[in-house]
Structure 1
Amino acid sequence: MLSVLQPLLFVLLVLLLAFCKTIVAVNRLPSSAFAVPGDATYDYVVVGGGTAGLTVAARLAASGASVGVIEAGGAYELDNGNYSVVPGYAFTEPALAPVEFFPPRPLIDWSLVSQPLTGAAGRRIHYAAGKTLGGSSALNTMAYHRATKGAYQRWASLVGSTAYTWDSLFPYFFKSTKLTPPNFAKRNTPNATFTYDKAAFCTTGPNCGPLQVSYAQWVDPTNTWFAVALKFIGLATSSVGFNSGSLSGGAYTTGTIDPTHATRSSSETSYLRWAIANTGLMVHYRTQALKILFTSGKATGVSVVTEGFPYTLTAKKEVIVSAGVFHSPQLLMVSGIGPQAKLTSLGIPVISNLPGVGQNLQDQIFFAVQNGLTSASTASILADPAQQAVALQQYLNNTSGPYTSAGGYIAFEKLPAASRANFSARTTSLLAALPADMPEIEYLAGGFPGNATAGITTTGDLSATLLAPFSRGSVTISSLSMLDSPAIDLGWLKDAADAEVAVAAFKRLRQAWSAPGLSPVKVGLESRPGAAVQTDAQILQWIRENAIQIWHASSTNAMGMNATAGGVVDKTCKVFGVTGLRVVDISVFPFALPGHPQATVYALAEKIAADIIAGR
């Protein structure tokens, strides 16, 4: 019996050791940086210790200002352990379950559930959002890349500021990161080598930022086959990668992983730890912001509660809201900033009538086509106890192997002419108005353990994401309390143009699966959705019933030139109609940027911190 249990006991021991390393790392944070609950005064009070909030807070604290950060959660290393720390667990994170009934992770996730989605078969969706130091940078799958030059030019044009062009934002991308070049020896996959733009990042020296960016030290074997499939439909591998203002074709992605010990690099491990070591920044953690306080139209502080104990944090200069796409508009509304009719109906005194607060929600969704494969994948390897034990040894002894990686091969495109032939005139016009270099679809490759008895090692999963949704959702409130969840309408597939694009993208997935180059590893017929789904109507209905979010919701406090056109903040993220208040997070994006947004969130936070320090 003991011999049978030994492999399992070994795995458990290694996991325990890894977790203990995490606890030690967290405990190195000096307790003097974590505030004792009670009234306090700072130059700046930052609501939200997430991706943007910790970036802004660290830079302001480095300028000599006193900064207090309010964070509702704690330390994810302790509250979520290896699920958040070890890259290989990213896609098995229970908090990411996108279904109405999900395994709760209340210490690190807000447990938000949407309203029924009228455009997606009436489903209610759990939408993971980081409730922890690091915010969603502690929960995401760590993909790091930038949007296109045309997308940033569109941003600049919409808000009337050249500060959002590619050339203007690039110094902030550069300033926020440090890239470790790819270690091809550890990747150990000859057909997965590549070139990239080495000028896109800082790699050495004092000018590099605290956020660690790297190429994975492991390549999922199945992803190399998906690269073949995507090349078959015309998506050649990019020679420069996805960090130079272009998203075209395929590439192995960079990720926010510190390759030194192959762990997640979040805003907590990067900006916060740096700030704690070098500034006087203070953190009020496990503390809920309840309401922004105003005096004569100026934000002067925040009412908060820590474990039932209420108090006030006063801001001598500004309050900066970085609570995310759902909670930032909620906090504005309960504090008196938002659509007048809604606030009045709840008895909230109106401080600034801003109809755009909570509106314009844009959420990118994706769906997949699956087929059996004989190739090994990260998931199939880690599902085998014997191989898992080897992988753990690789991870702990050599920072290599499946546990070191969270990403792989992705690709972007504007749909080709043949895919657009049946689009309506309206859909064609809407797509034509997008920047010429802005892709419409992102393709993601993945795999799950297959049915070994059927000769299937991996269930291959090739998915398509709608990058420029025309459907709009909203966030609103049903009570005066931040302790109640906001009401979220994700708006999926409400617009007919999204439906047309989704069907065309689905057909592209099937074209990729038909690539002759997959014949050495492809097994049997399409397993999902299968041959019964053929007509456009059947495809669309299947998408409505099965599409999920890629956790990139944005634009609920959109940046604009004025409030009349639906804007909530100006070009420096100042909230219209009041003073001393800014919103700095993904909610201020004027539209959904193509691809994964965290790189731009970090750059935006760097830019606004620089604006504040310069007095803008």
Structure 2
Amino acid sequence: MKQSGNGKDSASNAIEFDYVVVGAGSAGCAIASRLAEDPGVTVVLLEAGPTDHHYTVSAPIGIAVTAVRAGPRNYGYYSVPQAAMNGRRSWQPRGRGLGGSSSINGMVYIRGHRKDYDDWAAAGCDGWSYRDVLPYFRRSECHELHAGTDDNPWHGGEGPLHVSELRSPNPFSRRFIQAAQQAGFPFNHDFNGEKQDGVGLYQVTQHNGERWNTARAFLHGGDVRDTRLNGGRSHLTVLTDTQALKIVFEGKRARGVSVVRDGVMQTVRARREVVLCAGAFNSPQLLMASGVGPAAHLRELGIEVVRDLPGVGQNLQDHLDIVVNKQLHSTDLFGRSLPGALRLIREIHRYRRHRTGMITSNLAEAGGFVKSRAELDVPDLQLHFVPALLGDRGSKKRPRGHGYSCHVCVLRPHSRGEVRLRSPDLRDAPLIDPRFLSDERDLDGLVDGVRIVRRIFAQRSLDGMGGRELSTGDFGDDDTNEDAIRSFIRSHADTVFHPVGTCSMGTGSTAVVDPALRVRGVEGLRVVDASVMPTLIGGNTNAPSIMIAEKAADMMRHARTDARAAATV
């Protein structure tokens, strides 16, 4: 999104910190806070958007507004037309402002399967096995069932990120779990525990019935201040409404970031390192706009090449998802009707008094991890059950009436896409091409998923409530009509908002960062966010992004200690 004016250059008034962190999202808030814990270290956190102080952020049900439309807290990107999805453009919301996408996401706390991380380590990402990363998940977490203790092998009880059980689960979410068990899937009370397989209620990043984004977890209440660009004396300075434009290099070393704020351009310099935490779309965008990326593409746009790094913007992976809806009149379910509106008014009053009820819903209340074939080693599909009808994402059309729905996505897609520059200006949206369904195996997985969801919906706990299925195309009740199911998927599938991989970690020629998350071929520059994931994990990506930041902060702290020790020799 562009701000008005080109900005007045005021680079001579550059300010300086030890670390400059770009992007105050899930990873950025965490790493900035952790780096600033060390005495004598100064950190600045740059964020293009506003603060997170707004009821649509704090009230969990606000996701119904913030995630579906562009605005001050949502970049509201679209992909380029997707050839395998009838030329449709995919809706690509990304958080803008403190907390980033943790301020607009579904609050589902999932780490992924242990095999995901073991596969990273086996592929050359030393130090990233499940055994290596589990302590960082636990460090950040304060699970309400284990608060104040650190003796649970799976969960933390002393971290800043509150994780809770749902306060007021919808009765239909419990019916979904019963129906899934009737369909043969086991119950799982903790997807982040010993095993992932099964169905149940999701744990959420909430506290006392409110969203607990990473800004609340890592920034608010600490030694933090929001200041104009006049130099910061606290350990951590947070600058909102500050658009990063370009990384400033001296030779091959990153020395700072050129920004614009209030129409004034200025350089924020880094004594030690620049850390990009702008996410799977904007981190590669900023690298390329700064001259780090595929040389031919950069030269096409007149950008001076600092480092030819072909992998920047490549390897884009995302969870493509299809939704099955069933219409049913019940004000227990969210919906567009006069009785539903009256119920919602009562629920708002209930929420204000007790922080309970429907306003605490994250919508994706229940779900699970299932196998499309029994012989698989790990679940290959994820379900998200929602006690509401859902329209096509990015569409202004919303189904009327009440009902429920279930998402299903392929957890480890084979399709790979890319991010490219539309222009060298960071205020222009990047070109996003996930190339959804470019690998036919992903379509096969979604066909299996549709059949599994319909099998669950057909069980007595849900089917006994009545209702009718919506928008299933031409196959009706005939699950054997595979061509019709495929047509339905191509017409309605879209992302479930988990893009990763565009600044991939690894040791090969296409890797952008090494296992210490340092950008290859330059100095003083790291990427710390979901873009470094070499492969998509089996689950929601918010918790893993925070884990990456926790681990990166430790690696940077050790690097600083090692450098200090070497200087004294």
User: TM-score range with shorter-chain normalisation?
Assistant: 0.7 to 0.9
Kindly tell me: are residues 88 and 479 of structure 1, through their superposed partners in 2, closer, same or farther at Cα, counting changes over 3 Å? closer
Return the offset for 1:449. Answer: 6.6
Return the offset for 1:174. Answer: 1.0
Deviations 1:210-259 (A, max 9, x none): 111111110111111111221133211114x1112532001211111112
Matched, 1:83 2:56: yes
Q: Is the 8 A contact 1:149 1:245 kept in 2?
A: no
Q: What does 1:342-361 align with in structure 2 at a 5 Å threshold? A: 342-361=297-316
Question: Could you say what the CA RMSD is over the residues aligned between the two structures, in angstroms?
Answer: 2.4
Matched, 1:67 2:43: yes
Q: Alignment partner for residue 334 of structure 1, among 289, 299, 315?
A: 289
How far apart, CA to CA, are the structure 1 residues paired with 2:140 and 2:354?
27
Matched, 1:291 2:246: yes
1:5 corresponds in structure 2 to none
User: Secondary structure of 2:187's partner?
Assistant: coil
Q: What does 1:165-176 align with in structure 2 at a 5 Å threshold? A: 165-176=129-140
Matched, 1:179 2:143: yes
Deviations 1:518-543 (A, max 9, x none): 343123x4333156455211111111
Matched, 1:114 2:79: yes
Matched, 1:445 2:399: no
How far apart, CA to CA, are the structure 2 residues paired with 1:374 and 1:285?
44
2:183 corresponds in structure 1 to 233
User: Which deviates more from structure 2 when the two are superposed, residues 263-272 or residues 576-585?
Assistant: 263-272
The amino acid of 1:308's aligned partner reads: G
2:110 corresponds in structure 1 to 145
The amino acid of 1:267's aligned partner reads: T
Q: Is the 8 A contact 1:71 1:285 kept in 2?
A: yes
How far apart, CA to CA, are the structure 2 residues paired with 1:333 and 1:530?
42
Return the offset for 1:346. Answer: 2.0
Listed as ranges, the gaps of 5+ residues in structure 2 are 1-11, 226-233, 391-399, 561-569
How far apart, CA to CA, are the structure 1 residues paired with 2:188 and 2:154?
14
User: Secondary structure of 1:144's partner?
Assistant: coil
1:305 corresponds in structure 2 to 260
Q: Alignment partner for residue 527 of structure 1, among 470, 475, 483?
A: 470
Kindly tell me: are residues 291 and 520 of structure 1, through their superposed partners in 2, closer, same or farther at Cα, counting changes over 3 Å? same
Matched, 1:568 2:512: yes
Q: Is the 8 A contact 2:19 2:275 kept in 1?
A: yes
Q: Is the 8 A contact 1:374 1:522 kept in 2?
A: no
Listed as ranges, the gaps of 5+ residues in structure 1 are 1-36, 98-102, 184-196, 421-431, 451-455
Q: Is the 8 A contact 1:560 1:570 kept in 2?
A: yes
Kindly tell me: are residues 528 and 126 of structure 1, through their superposed partners in 2, closer, same or farther at Cα, counting changes over 3 Å? closer
Q: Taking structure 1 as the reference length, what is the TM-score of the superposition?
A: 0.81
2:394 corresponds in structure 1 to none
The amino acid of 2:57's aligned partner reads: S
Kindly tell me: are residues 39 and 358 of structure 1, through their superposed partners in 2, closer, same or farther at Cα, counting changes over 3 Å? same
How far apart, CA to CA, are the structure 2 residues paired with 1:581 and 1:72?
20
Deviations 1:13-38 (A, max 9, x none): xxxxxxxxxxxxxxxxxxxxxxxx95
User: Secondary structure of 1:392's partner?
Assistant: helix
Matched, 1:365 2:320: yes
The amino acid of 1:263's aligned partner reads: E
Kindly tell me: are residues 221 and 303 of structure 1, through their superposed partners in 2, closer, same or farther at Cα, counting changes over 3 Å? same
How far apart, CA to CA, are the structure 2 residues paired with 1:375 and 1:384?
8
The count of residues paired between Structure 1 and Structure 2 equals 524
The amino acid of 2:144's aligned partner reads: T
User: Secondary structure of 1:143's partner?
Assistant: coil
Return the offset for 1:201. Answer: 2.0
User: Which deviates more from structure 2 when the two are superposed, residues 248-257 or residues 345-354?
Assistant: 345-354
How far apart, CA to CA, are the structure 2 residues paired with 1:295 and 1:608?
24
Q: What does 1:464-479 align with in structure 2 at a 5 Å threshold? A: 464-479=408-423
2:155 corresponds in structure 1 to 201
Return the offset for 1:391. Answer: 1.6
Q: What does 1:496-511 align with in structure 2 at a 5 Å threshold? A: 496-511=440-455
The amino acid of 1:528's aligned partner reads: S
Matched, 1:543 2:489: yes
Structure ranking higher in helix proportion: 1
Q: Is the 8 A contact 1:381 1:388 kept in 2?
A: no
Q: Is the 8 A contact 2:178 2:461 kept in 1?
A: yes
Matched, 1:257 2:206: yes
The amino acid of 2:380's aligned partner reads: E
The amino acid of 1:388's aligned partner reads: L
Return the offset for 1:55. Answer: 0.6
1:125 corresponds in structure 2 to 90
Kindly tell me: are residues 567 and 485 of structure 1, through their superposed partners in 2, closer, same or farther at Cα, counting changes over 3 Å? same
Kindly tell me: are residues 39 and 338 of structure 1, through their superposed partners in 2, closer, same or farther at Cα, counting changes over 3 Å? same
User: Secondary structure of 2:544's partner?
Assistant: helix
Q: Is the 8 A contact 2:333 2:404 kept in 1?
A: no
How far apart, CA to CA, are the structure 1 residues paired with 2:317 and 2:352?
40
Kindly tell me: are residues 283 and 485 of structure 1, through their superposed partners in 2, closer, same or farther at Cα, counting changes over 3 Å? same
1:220 corresponds in structure 2 to 170
Deviations 1:30-59 (A, max 9, x none): xxxxxxx95210000001111101111101
User: Secondary structure of 2:386's partner?
Assistant: strand
Q: Alignment partner for residue 556 of structure 1, among 491, 502, 508?
A: 502
How far apart, CA to CA, are the structure 2 residues paired with 1:266 and 1:576?
31
Return the offset for 1:375. Answer: 5.2
Kindly tell me: are residues 567 and 274 of structure 1, through their superposed partners in 2, closer, same or farther at Cα, counting changes over 3 Å? farther
Return the offset for 1:274. Answer: 4.4
Deviations 1:317-344 (A, max 9, x none): 0000011110100100011111111112
Return the offset for 1:130. Answer: 1.0
The amino acid of 2:388's aligned partner reads: F
Return the offset for 1:571. Answer: 0.4
Q: Is the 8 A contact 2:410 2:446 kept in 1?
A: yes
Return the offset for 1:458. Answer: 3.6
The amino acid of 1:248's aligned partner reads: D
Q: Is the 8 A contact 2:336 2:402 kept in 1?
A: no
Q: Is the 8 A contact 1:221 1:376 kept in 2?
A: no
Matched, 1:248 2:197: yes
Deviations 1:155-191 (A, max 9, x none): 1112331x211221111111111111399xxxxxxxx
Q: Alignment partner for residue 366 of structure 2, among 397, 400, 409?
A: 409
Q: Is the 8 A contact 1:299 1:578 kept in 2?
A: yes
How far apart, CA to CA, are the structure 2 residues paired with 1:495 and 1:385?
43
How far apart, CA to CA, are the structure 1 residues paired with 2:306 and 2:335?
56
How far apart, CA to CA, are the structure 2 residues paired with 1:84 and 1:280?
26
User: Which deviates more from structure 2 when the two are superposed, residues 304-313 or residues 525-534?
Assistant: 525-534
2:342 corresponds in structure 1 to 386
Return the offset for 1:376. Answer: 4.7
Kindly tell me: are residues 377 and 449 of structure 1, through their superposed partners in 2, closer, same or farther at Cα, counting changes over 3 Å? farther
How far apart, CA to CA, are the structure 2 residues paired with 1:47 and 1:549?
25
Q: What does 1:157-168 align with in structure 2 at a 5 Å threshold? A: 157-161=122-126, 163-168=127-132
The amino acid of 2:86's aligned partner reads: A
User: Secondary structure of 1:310's partner?
Assistant: strand
